[in-house]
Homo-oligomer: A and B are copies of this chain.
Amino acid sequence: MVRDKDRTRARLFEVATELLGEQGFGSTTVDEIAVRAGVAKGTVYYHFGSKAELVTALIAEGLEPLAERMRAAVDGSSTAREALEALTYAELAFIQEHCAFTKLVVTELWREDRAWRDALELVRERIVTIIRQQLERGVEGGELRPDIDPQFAARALFVLTATAALDWLAFEPGRPINEVVGQIRRLTAMAVVQTV
């Protein structure tokens, strides 16, 4: 039945995300994925064609939920600054829940030869656009200084948050998420004091 097929695929996704996130692409074998998913090795190939395609699908589909959360975060905010803080929160929360997956993504983000480079770039741009729109809104509304480059800043904020989140989870996993959000807010407004 179609439902069975979908379920198997979903299970493989779940398991592959775990393993690839923990160990990276090179150290994870298709065998491991199959065993942990409780299916035969051939089944992985039946569903994804190759290990590389599995990862491509993983990245493309695994990042989509983050994009959705971020869209939702924007919808629930009135000002640009509020939206940006909500975006930071959404990203941090997502990464907290999918830490291993994020490691995988960050690890592959600047790779040049991978087949899944393009898939990643695509979703990434979708997410960066969401951030950029808020930055533009903030600049237009006078909430943010006009001399920032929204595209550059959006990319930087996205990765800043992601990598800060990874450091957070690696070094101080006990720290409450809101404190981290606060730190990032302050970091991006670091010079406030001296401008008063």
Contacts and interface: CB of A to CB of B under 8 A. Distances in A.
A186 interface: yes
Nearest to A151: B171
A143 B195 CA distance: 9
A148 B187 contact: yes
Contacts of A194: 81, 142-144
Interface in A13-28: 22-27
A174 B189 CA distance: 28
A166 B158 CA distance: 13
A190 B152 contact: no
A81 to B, nearest CB: 8
A93 interface: no
Nearest to A193: B145
Number of copies: 4
A159 interface: yes
Interface centre among A24, A25, A190 (most CB of B within 10 A): A190
Interface string A104-119: 0011011111000000
Interface in A148-196: 148-149, 152-153, 155-157, 159-160, 163-164, 166-168, 170-172, 180, 183-184, 186-196
28 contacts: A23-B113, A24-B111, A24-B113, A81-B194, A109-B166, A143-B194, A144-B190, A144-B191, A144-B194, A145-B186, A145-B189, A146-B193, A147-B186, A148-B183, A148-B187, A148-B190, A152-B167, A152-B172, A153-B190, A156-B163, A157-B187, A159-B163, A159-B167, A160-B163, A163-B163, A188-B189, A188-B190, A192-B192
